[in-house]
Structure 1
Amino acid sequence: MTWGNAKAAGSRGAWSDSRMRAAGAACAAQLPVAGIVAFTLTLGDDDYGATGGGAVGLICFLLFGPFLLPVVGLLHAAVLTLPAAWLGRLGAARLGRGPEWAWSLGCLLPVGAAWAACFAALGAPFVQTALWSAASGVLPVLHMAYCRRREERLGRPLRKVWILSGLTSLGLCVAVLGGAVAATATGLIKEYEPPRLSVEQLTGTWRGEDDENVVLRLRADGRAVLDGTPFERVGTDAGGWYDSEIARCHATGTWRVDRDRDRDRFPRRPAVAVDAKGCGDRQLWTVGGTELRPELFVSFGDPDSPDIEVLVRRRG
């Protein structure tokens, strides 16, 4: 992995080249590790039948990651880490209490909150965005303070910050992947198993996870009421199977539990088969989620990157 080396720093202000280099290298180094940790934590989760999306994403990362990570790291340093360091330097200089790096850590939250307010205007959750933004700057701030102390002791700028950060990131990624493989082999991370729901547990009202206007009501007598549920409309002028038109169904019909092991998609999972006139072929809502939070979902399009509609149990 070749991330390159920046030129020697000039000034030692809050926005100096040396601080930018140290903060950018630390951010670029933490991103692959954070991504692999997040991927490892989802190994036991429901993938909703996506068969190759993770592999494609990994290949794209290996091809383009070494070129994009330095850019992302420097951008992160410019918009988050260095503004927090500048505010921390002002606080330490005026109040004279505590080290500058501690002030910088404390200033990550208001800077992260400012960016979170911008994203909240676009619909993102404010609190989570602010906390994650602030957390992403902790390691760059600490690395920046460490590099500054090293430079003061050596009397010259550090020359291999990017290379050392890249090697450290690579080593941590290998360690995390090795731990994930070992945990999977020993059973510490178990393969996802869908819940086994009885007819009584399936009976009731299911609404869209993201859009509660999507409703599927399964009656105890075998009747089904569909209100806004999606289905693939056949006989359109679409260019291929993956481009078929998705329509919305508003109808009544019947339902039953389908345990057909010969299905092409999700052969190991039970599903709810719904027949309703005018809603295409038989709809199969596959069982997912957990025992505590069961789900029904249907997928459309490319199996490697499908469009998913998820329903959860609701009262009423």
Structure 2
Amino acid sequence: MRWGNAREARPRGTWSDVRMRAAGAACAAQLPVAGMVAFTLTLDNDSRGTGGGPALGLACLFVFGPLLLPVVGLLHSAVLTLPAVGLGRLGAARLGRGPEWAWSLACLLPVAAAWAACFAVLGAPFVGPALWIAASGILPALHVAYCRRREERLGRPLRKVWILSGLTSLGVCVAVFGGAVVGTATGLIKEYEPPALTAAQLAGTWRGEDGERLRLGADGRAVVTGLPYESSHAYEAGDASGGSDRLPRCDSTGTWRIGEAQYEDRPAVVVAVEGCGSDSQTWTIGGTAAEPELFVLFGDPDSPDIEVLVRRRG
């Protein structure tokens, strides 16, 4: 991972200041690590047959990251880290209590809250984003304090800040990936496995978010209400972009049985009803044994629409 290194010269404004370089490098370094950790945490998640999922996103990050991460790091520094560091310096100078780095960390919260409030106006939650935004500035703020102290001690501008941050990030990512591989091989980290449900466990009523229902009887009978299905006219020009809400809905009766999904050798429920497109529709079994679900994919296999049904007792 080669991020390059800015030319070492006398600081010329904010963008060449040691604070900007230190904060930008730390933010750019922490993003790949966060992505790798997030990928590791999704190993036991159900991808629902959508292909590479997090792995594809992680691969794109490593391909395009060396070009995009420095820009993202500098932008993050300009809108979050440097305002917090500036407020921290002001608070430490006015009150004279506590180290400046502690003030900078404390000031991350009001700056993050201001940005979260902007997002909240657009309909996003407030508390969660505010905390995540503030947390993203902790490492950059600490790195700013460390680099400033090192620069004062050495009496010269720090060199290779970007390269060292990039190498550190790469090393941590390799360590996390290696730990995930070892954990998966030894069974400490379990990859997702769909629940093995019997016919008796599958029998009951399954409902979707919009009220669609699939009733699986213990006698093999099936009753569908409002379930979407694909027909020869379902994805004509303009219809595919609308998703499953543009598909025709089915109200009918028929039969069901346990079969196999069309991918990944997964168990599925095959429902055969009259007047609903093809002869049968395959609902793949997902979720967990405690909270099972049935899902089906519509449309483009590379970017499918997913219809999910969950169990409702009674």
Question: What is the percent sequence identity of the aligned residues?
Answer: 68
- For 2:282, the equivalent position in structure 1 comes to 284
2:229 and 2:250 in contact (8 A); partners too: no
- For 2:293, the equivalent position in structure 1 comes to 295
Deviations 1:123-152 (A, max 9, x none): 433222111111111110111110010011
Pair 1:236–1:290, CA change in 2 (3 A): closer
Which stretch of the first structure deviates more once superposed, 282-291 or 217-226? Answer: 217-226
Distance, in Å, in 2 between the alignment partners of 1:237 and 1:192 is 32
Pair 1:65–1:25, CA change in 2 (3 A): same
- For 2:306, the equivalent position in structure 1 comes to 308
- For 2:11, the equivalent position in structure 1 comes to 10
Q: Match for 1:233 among 227, 231, 234?
A: 231
Matched residue SS, 1:233: coil
- For 1:270, the equivalent position in structure 2 comes to 267
Distance, in Å, in 1 between the alignment partners of 2:243 and 2:86 is 53
- For 2:171, the equivalent position in structure 1 comes to 171
- For 2:183, the equivalent position in structure 1 comes to 183
1:206 and 1:311 in contact (8 A); partners too: yes
RMSD between aligned residues = 2.7
- For 1:52, the equivalent position in structure 2 comes to 52
Q: Within 5 Å, which residues of 2 pair with 1:145-224?
A: 145-208=145-208, 211-220=209-218, 222-224=221-223
Pair 1:256–1:276, CA change in 2 (3 A): closer
- Structure 1 counterpart of 2:25, one-letter code: A
- Structure 2 counterpart of 1:84, one-letter code: A
Distance, in Å, in 2 between the alignment partners of 1:225 and 1:20 is 59
Matched residue SS, 2:297: strand
Distance, in Å, in 1 between the alignment partners of 2:272 and 2:284 is 14
Query: How does the TM-score come out when normalised to structure 2?
Result: 0.87
Pair 1:279–1:179, CA change in 2 (3 A): same
Matched residue SS, 1:6: coil
- For 1:23, the equivalent position in structure 2 comes to 23
Deviations 1:159-186 (A, max 9, x none): 2110000000011111111111111111
Deviations 1:11-50 (A, max 9, x none): 898x872111111100000000110111011112211123
